[in-house]
Amino acid sequence: MEALIQSGASGKETEVPRILPSLASEDPLVRWTAQRSLLNLTGTCNGYDWAASRLDRQHAIEAWVQWCKDHGLAPHRVG
């Protein structure tokens, strides 16, 4: 959790790929913290909702993976 918070506060979009695996966490607090960190870094949730169904979250995670690719960042393995 602390690492997610620090990544979100870093101001570095290069931290986004490190946050992505936490979006698939079974722990809703971890997912919420990851969502807030991404919002802090990028100004968007990119369609991700920490409380959505697993399927809806997966679609949004795929959008984040594409976001990383579009920004020249290699996404970490998610889920």
| Burial label, 77 (beta-carbon count in 10 A; 0-12, 13-18, 19+) | exposed
39 token code pair: 């919002």
User: Which sequence spans correspond to the domains of the chain?
Assistant: 2-70
Distance CA 14, CA 21 (A): 14
Is residue 20 a contact partner of residue 78, using CB atoms and an 8 Å limit?
Answer: yes
pTM score above 0.85: yes
DSSP string, 14-45: GGHHHHGGGGG-S-HHHHHHHHHHHHHHHS--
Can you give the pLDDT at residue 42? 96
Render pLDDT for 4-56 as a digit per residue (tens, 0 to 9). Answer: 999 999 999 999 999 999 999 999 999 999 999 999 999 999 999 999 999 99
Can you give the pLDDT at residue 79? 60
Can you give the pLDDT at residue 74? 87
